[in-house]
Structure 1
Amino acid sequence: MSMKMFKNIDLSEATRLTRAGRLKEALAALKGALPGGAPDAAPATHAPDLGAAAKGLLHGLTQRLGGLEGLFEHGPKPAPFVPGDARFEARVHAGAAGSRTYKLYIPSGYRGKPVALLVMLHGCSQSPDDFARGTRMNELAEEQTFLVAYPAQPRSANMSKCWNWFNAADQQRGQGEPSLIAGIAHEVMAEFSVDPKRVYVAGLSAGGAAAAVLGATYPDLFKGIGVHSGLACGAARDMPSGFIAMKTGAPAPGRGTAVPTIVFHGDGDTTVHPVNGDHVIAQAKAAADLRARSERGVSSGGIRYTRTVHMDASGRPAHEQWVLHGAGHAWSGGDPSGSFTEPRGPDASREMMRFFRERSA
């Protein structure tokens, strides 16, 4: 199927409509440019029979538009991984800055002995269940026996369900969203046996940027942060500067004590400019004099990558950066049943937990 068949797609218009919350119109704009599509047709609840090439293009377009791909899927999403005696509980945390619901994965191997806690922050348009599916973090928690908390951002806080990493008020300790997310971690630690030296936070896109904020504002709580396709804390102060940072990159100042940081970012990312991954690492390195060692590799799925380890004077790894060559705005090594995943890439979930474990040893 020739790419000429898709020449009428106006991605900028579809993006504008999506950001305005006019999803049906954005979807119609996409459909009208595809073979057999009609601009005024009602949105389909499953993928039209376009052939493999068209479906592939459509998937890429909808990933860029922030979550419309769910309108094309056959039937309901599969349930997140919860085997045997494991639990995946819906909970609510309330604090001075408001409240947030969250899901907590408790592996079947938890017996009351101290374990690690990982807080996972989803990207825009995602949910805890979607993020758990896409990252396969529940499966890893079951294998390695650690707790995973998935806070949920409601539309009442952000119409696209993005964490408000770009707001100055949500970049401060004891205020806004950082206080709520930290509060969720403290709440889990109060109920379960958690090793305080093994509490981590990671996220994708807006969630990755929020994880960077948590590392900067609560370095005493979070002992490691994972930033996938995100931005540095302080890269923006409001929504307009947030869009600029996403598109062109914005350096951010150092924030004192640096929490061990692992970064994943595709150099083909057109949603959050890849240079932002460099800025996250630069911010983390600002507090110390480090030397770097890089290596190249290819994942089992064929994605080339460059892995750079930043080490202190004793040779101990302090931070780690993975640049995924040709990859876009998606969780590397993720499950395709979740949104914004790149199944062919190295397993970001497993590599993050390996990094955290090594740093806490």
Structure 2
Amino acid sequence: MKIVYSSSLITVALLAAGVTSASVSGCGSDIPSAFPNPGRSKSLRLPNFDREYRLHIPANYDKNKPTPLYFSFHGATRDMNEQESLSQFSNPEFNPNGIAIYPNGKNGLWLSNPNADTSRPNDLDFVNDLLTHMEEKLCIDPRRVYAAGKSNGGGFTSVLACNATVGRRFAAFAAVSGAYYDTDQTPGVGPCAPAKRDEGYPFLEFHGTVDVTAPIDGNTEKHPKLAVIDILKGWAERNGCGANAQWARNETVFENPLVKHASWDCQGKNGIVQHYREGENGHCWPLTVSNDDFINQGSRCPLGKYVFNATEYIFDFFGQYQLNP
């Protein structure tokens, strides 16, 4: 599949030429009046594109300082408002300096879900245009754009990373309780074929061992979900580790409940693929305080809260990576 946009191609070309981020962004311009004030969030609609998103601008935003941008994608049948509350990407405790954006899926779903709307313009088109819009209106650092998601949104981050046109604009990816489907035959998605780049494809994944919605070992239902280890090995292979590469480390980070952390070192890139295996946790976004998953999805999230904050780990991981100029 190939998506062509003149604006994104210009951005990529400028980056390849070593032009600074300020020269390809909205640096120096005032925040548009329709946007939220610094320290606030607001729901908006993308011009010329009948899709909604929620935007958070940090309190310390400086129109002359290139700023990282973090996408957070909701799960199936959920929405941008719930995802802001769940992922806490607008919380300055985790993200004091970056812009957070929560796109709304089409009919509550994202590409990779077998029931998602694949008609054009599709989700990849939407994300590409939304990123371009942000770069035109705000002082975005195009080297530091990141994507994370929960469940269907987590699976979509992998789809995004696999796309050579849109994925090349993101520096790193993270998925929480990702629902991964075989997308090779999905219209608008196709086989995983990311753009070749020296930085590789940083990918972080979290998954509960008692997740029955997106089982960690996959399932064989009408629309089978893939095992998480196959997704991780796929990204390890794309990062140069070779087929069926074994992790370099698999360490215990918590004992009660048992949390294991596996990581792959590929082509000199230490920990470029990482995974947290959450013992006794279900289809939930791990936080040390209760969140919407634990409150409203109690049958799927039996513990009520967890022993670490996935959001904290995601921002630590993202902070290690940026696209080369």
TM-score by length of 1: 0.63
Return the offset for 1:222: 1.1
Partner of 1:267: 209
Q: Is 1:213–1:233's contact at 8 Å kept on the other side of the alignment?
A: no
Distance 1:85 1:118 in 2: 16
Supply the distance in 2 between the matched residues of 1:253 and 1:236 (Cα, whole angstroms).
Answer: 4
Query: d(CA) in 1 for partners of 2:78 and 2:269?
Result: 38
Match for 1:307: what amino acid? H
Instruction: Determine which structure has the larger helix proportion and give its number.
Output: 1
CA distance in 1, matches of 2:184, 2:278: 24
2:250 aligned with 1:294, yes or no? yes
Q: Which residue of 1 aligns with 2:123?
A: 177
CA distance in 1 between partners of 2:191 and 2:237 (Å): 8
Q: Residues 204 and 227 of structure 1 are in contact (CA less than 8 Å); yes or no, is this contact kept in structure 2?
A: yes
Gaps of 5+ in 2: 1-36, 218-226, 242-246
Q: Which residue of 2 aligns with 1:151?
A: 103
- Contact 1:267 / 1:326 at 8 angstroms: preserved in 2? yes
Alignment partners' CA distance in 2, 1:171 and 1:320:
30
Contact kept in structure 2, 1:307 and 1:322, CA below 8 Å: yes
Task: Tell me the matched-pair count.
Answer: 257
Q: How does 1:1-361 map to 2 (within 5 A)?
A: 85-94=38-47, 98-112=49-63, 113-140=65-92, 143-153=95-105, 157-158=106-107, 161-167=108-114, 175-217=121-163, 218-232=166-180, 234-235=182-183, 237=185, 254-256=192-194, 257=196, 259-275=201-217, 276-290=227-241, 292-298=248-254, 302-314=256-268, 316-333=270-287, 335-339=289-293, 343-360=305-322
The answer to whether the 8 A contact 2:72-2:87 is kept is no
User: Please, what TM-score do these two structures have when normalized by structure 2?
Assistant: 0.70
d(CA) in 1 for partners of 2:77, 2:91:
23
* Amino acid across the alignment from 2:230: H
Paired amino acid for 1:261: F
Q: Distance in 2 between matches of 1:88 and 1:195?
A: 20
Moved more, 116-125 or 223-232: 223-232
Which residue type is aligned with residue 183 of structure 1?
Answer: D
Amino acid in structure 2 at the alignment position of 1:108: A
Identity %: 19
Between the two structures, name the one with larger relative contact order (CA 8 Å, sep ≥ 6). Answer: 2
C-alpha distance in structure 1 between counterparts of 2:47 and 2:184, whole Å? 27
Give the aligned residue type for 1:289: G
- Superposed CA RMSD in Å reads 3.0
Q: Who wins on radius of gyration, i.e. which is larger?
A: 1
Give distance in 2, aligned partners of 1:127 and 1:271.
Answer: 18
- Displacement of 1:348 in angstroms is 0.9
Letter in 2 for 1:311: D
**Residues 141 and 102 (structure 1), Cα distance of their counterparts in 2 relative to 1, 3 Å cut:** farther
Residue 51 of structure 2 aligns to a residue whose secondary structure is strand
